[in-house]
Chains A and B, each alone.
Chain A
Amino acid sequence: MSLSSVTTEVVDPIPGAEAPHLPQQPDLVQLLTPEGERVEHPEYSLSISDDELRGLYRDLVLVRRWDVEATALQRQGELGIWASLLGQEAAQIGAGRALQPDDMAFPTYREHGVAWTRGVDPLDVISLFRGVDNGGWDPVATHFNLYTVVIGAQTLHATGYAMGVQRDGAETAVLAFLGDGATSQGEVNESMIWAASFSAPVVFFCQNNQYAISVPLERQSRVPLYQRAAGFGFPGVRVDGNDVLAVLAVTRAALAAAREGQGPTFIEAFTYRMGAHTTSDDPTRYRLASELEEWKLRDPIARLKVHLSRSGIADHHFFDSVERAADELATRIRSGTVEMPDPPATAMFDSVYAEQTPHLAQQRAAFVAYHESFEGGER
């Protein structure tokens, strides 16, 4: 694919990089167009029941509602910060629903949609952003690792986990999430070298949402990201990240290949961060509103809705019921958040080590005694 041969009627999503916009990208895997038309792809077919299709729609709507509610809760001072997934629902639900129960996922800090597909309670994610803990879910039971805030570190963990799977001879694949910015980190490049050298059953799932906070993709890469995989010696594929069906098909295929011993795949889910980087960010400082308007035309939820109603797979009763479920979820998230108790202060001492040290135990005791000395008013 040549970067320069592409006509751009729509705003160039990567300013200055002459990147191809979605509909004209020959290498882009798509099964559902932005207009909601179901199309076939020679390499990636998807057989999916009507029930599953409705389930995907439900997932998309519910995680968006969760996200909107969390953003509102942050604005009202109930959360310290929130990293929104707005616009990336299809990439996350498609990837998450491609996982088998025993597969393991290693998220960044934005994969709330994947958390949802692993059965993680939204409140256990919210608790991190409220400052109660570093994520309340059990990473072992859910097969969903805790969020990793240090950019890219988790890609090595995923690779090592996959090496363990390989030693165990297990039929398990590992899905490592990362952003476009993360691809610049040395550790991420090391993880791909390790994955390739050991043919580890790991799939790198990169959501290219076009920005690392304010920095556009062109500062991280001169080539489309999926093409980097070739240099490491494994396949790379670019999928329409706003097309939940294509993401599901591509991720399923890559995970299956990993389970069969074919080694890693790099998936670039081409998408767009429709919100701010986090609630602390002000995107008006670095990108044009018109860009967002263009991407709204490729909304991941709208296209599936069109497909479901046009093909008669769902009617307004179904859509209404999903709305009601979303309302209920939002209510549960809201009340669960405002009623969430603060952790006991001693919690910070209690799981530092598997085997507590005498020194820290003493420090904890002194901490308790110090605070007790204030009880009943002034010391």
Chain B
Amino acid sequence: MSTETLTIGKALNLGLRRAMEDDAKVVLMGEDIGRLGGVFRITDGLQKDFGEDRVVDTPLAEAGILGTAVGLAMRGYRPVCEIQFDGFVFPAYNQIVTQVAKIHARSRGKLAMPIVIRIPFGGGIGAVEHHSESPEAYFAHTAGLKVVAVSNPVDAYWGIQQAIAHPDPIVFLEPKRRYWEKAAVDTDATPDPLFASRVVRGGDDVTVLAYGPMVKTVLQAAEAVAEEGRSLEVIDLRTLSPLDLDPVFESVRRTGRCVVVHEAPVTLGLGAEIAARVTETCFYSLEAPVLRVGGYDTPYPPAKLEEEYLPDLDRVLDAVDRAMGF
């Protein structure tokens, strides 16, 4: 067994390195990912070791990054595209939604699109406009795309390798404000499957769902109410499309209460879909409506207000109280 303590950022870096060693067809592309190693240094050192042909500093054009990735994929390559910040994926949105997502269906399976789109997402870093977005619902809403969000170094290390090896296009969301969070990663372990949710804390009173950066917040909330004798079951969704809700249904049947937490605005966010499915499947077990905690239906605010905008421990507990109050 070889265990290393890694940050999420370093775990991604090591995972990318492994994937590139395992498969010579893996090509990384993005703005400033080569010599600079990316603005978050996720690709640090990879261009030096794998060369400029495999770690490509692209022109400043996101439609170009995704559009050429399609062509490279058609030639048998496995492009791993870095979008520098969530808010800058939109020039590529056309390529992702009208092409990347649909080519497999359009070609009746003749063309696979093993493309990974890495996006640092979410807020909490005190940034200016467009650097703190949570665009996951746009992608989860699009048939043909798969969407995963990692919350910890272990999933970062394995998840990026699993995503690259996977035959379908995957939007791979990285919780940018948690890049520096550390955990022990056993690099010889057998990883959990990519498209599976995970119970990360057992409990009886309320089932609380989260993914990406909010998992830590929800775990802190669970810790805080444990002192008051309340027990939350926390599930890290991990995969947003497809959703893996069987463990959620199983949990809600026991607790009768469910709260979904994400940074993205609540309206038509992942929570809306989950609430509908939980209600459809667990209707007779529910003691309270499924509640959502998320960003407000406003543009992501200037940094001085982001603490007010982002769900925090108190807002999670407020929802837990409301769920218990029914």
Interface residues, chain A, with chain B CB atoms under 8 Å away: 80-81, 109, 128-134, 149-151, 181-182, 184-187, 212-215, 219-220, 280-281, 285-286, 342-343, 345, 347-349, 352, 359-360, 363, 367, 370-371, 374
Known A186-B63, A220-B59, A280-B39: A212·B31 in contact at CB below 8 Å: yes
B59 to A367, Cβ gap below 8 A?
no
Question: What would 7 A/B residue contacts be, using CB atoms closer than 8 Å?
Answer: A131-B306, A151-B88, A184-B64, A212-B31, A213-B31, A215-B57, A348-B309
B129 to chain A, nearest CB (A): 5
Q: Are B297 and A363 in contact (CB under 8 A)?
A: yes
What is the minimal beta-carbon distance from A321 to any residue of chain B, in angstroms?
Answer: 35
Residue of B nearest to A366 (CB): B296
Docked pose: A181 CA to B39 CA in angstroms: 16
What 5 A-B pairs come out closest when comparing CB atoms?
A: A131-B303, A214-B36, A181-B60, A184-B59, A348-B301
B128 touches A80 (CB 8 A): yes
- Assess whether B51 is interfacial by the CB under 8 Å rule: no
Whether a CB of chain A sits under 8 angstroms from the CB of B102 is: no
B34: chain A residues within 8 A (beta carbon): 214
Known A80-B303, A185-B61, A371-B308; further 9 A-B contacts with Cβ < 8 A: A184-B60, A213-B36, A214-B36, A220-B59, A280-B39, A343-B302, A348-B301, A359-B267, A360-B298
Residues of B within 8 A of A367 (CB): 296, 308
Q: Is the CB of B296 within 8 A of A363?
A: yes
Q: Are A132 and B31 in contact (CB under 8 A)?
A: no
Partner of B302, one of A131, A215, A220: A131
Using A285-B37, A342-B304 as known contacts, say yes or no to A131 and B126 having CB atoms under 8 A apart: yes
Query: B53 to chain A: closest CB distance in Å?
Result: 14
CB nearest to A357 among chain B residues = B297
Tell whether, in the assembled complex, residue A150 and residue B305 are in contact, meaning their CB atoms are under 8 Å apart.
no
In the complex, the answer to whether B298 meets A149 with C-beta atoms within 8 Å is no
Is there an interface contact between B128 and A149, defined as CB atoms closer than 8 Å? yes
In the complex, chain A residues whose CB is within 8 Å of the CB of B57: 214-215, 219
Which of B128, B298, B305 is within 8 Å of A352, CB to CB?
A: B298
Q: Which residues of A contact B126 (CB under 8 A)?
A: 80, 131
Residue B124 is within 8 A (CB to CB) of chain A in the complex: no
**Residues 64-94 (chain B) with a chain A CB within 8 angstroms:** 64, 87-88, 90-91
Which residue of chain A has its CB nearest to the CB of B309?
A348
Is B242 engaged at the interface, CB distance under 8 Å to the other chain? no
From B32, B298, B314, contact of A214 by CB (8 A)? B32
| Distance of A18 Cα from B64 Cα, bound (Å) | 26
Binary contact readout B89-130 vs A (1 if CB under 8 angstroms, 0 otherwise): 011000000000000000000000000000000000011111
Q: Considering only CB atoms, which chain A residue lies closest to B38 in the complex?
A: A214
Cα distance, A184 to B314, chains bound together (Å) = 45
The chain A residue sitting closest to B60, CB to CB, is: A181
How distant is the Cα of A185 from the Cα of B131 in the complex, in angstroms?
19
Please name all residues of chain B whose beta carbon is closer than 8 Å to the beta carbon of A359 when the two chains form the complex. 267, 297
User: Are the C-beta atoms of A185 and B91 separated by less than 8 Å?
Assistant: yes
Q: Given B58, B87, B267, B308, which contacts A150 in the complex, CB threshold below 8 Å? A: B87
B127-A80 in contact (CB<8A): yes
Q: Decide yes or no: A134 and B129 within 8 Å by CB, A280-B39, A345-B305, A348-B309 being known contacts.
A: yes
Closest B residue to A373 by beta carbon equals B318
Contact A348/B305 with A363-B297, A367-B296 known, Cβ cut-off 8 Å? yes
CB of B198 closer than 8 Å to a CB of A? no
- Known A-B contacts A129-B128, A150-B130, A214-B36; A184 and B302 likewise in contact (beta carbons under 8 Å): no
A150 to B128 alpha-carbon distance, docked (Å): 11
Contact A150 B36 (CB under 8 A): no
By the criterion CB–CB under 8 Å, are A370 and B318 in contact? yes
Query: What residues of B have a CB within 8 angstroms of the CB of A348 in the complex?
Result: 296, 298-299, 301, 305, 308-309
In the bound assembly, the distance between CA atoms of A184 and B88 in angstroms comes to 14
Closest to B58 in A: A219
Instruction: Report the Cα distance A255→B44, complex, angstroms.
Output: 44
The answer for the CA separation of A187 and B88 in the assembled complex, in Å, is: 13
CA distance A128 to B129 in the complex (A): 9
A356–B130 Cα distance when bound, in Å, is 23
- Decide yes or no whether B35 CB sits under 8 A from chain A: yes
Least CB distance, B282 to chain A, in whole angstroms? 26
A262 to B128, CA, bound (A): 38
> Which A residue sits closest to B307, measured CB to CB?
A345
Please tell me if the beta carbons of A81 and B297 are within 8 angstroms of each other in the complex.
no
Instruction: Report B-chain residues with C-beta under 8 Å of the C-beta of A128.
Output: 128, 302
* Contact B36–A352 (Cβ < 8 Å): no
Contact yes or no, B32 A184, CB < 8 A? no
Considering only CB atoms, which chain B residue lies closest to A130 in the complex?
B304
* Alpha-carbon distance A212/B126, docked complex (angstroms): 22
Q: How far is the CA of A184 from the CA of B61 in the complex (A)?
A: 6
Write out the residue numbers on chain A whose beta carbons fall within 8 Å of the beta carbon of B304. Answer: 130-132, 342-343
Q: Which residue of B lies closest to A133 (CB)?
A: B302
- Min Cβ gap B219→A in Å is 21
CB distance from A291 to the nearest CB of B (A): 14
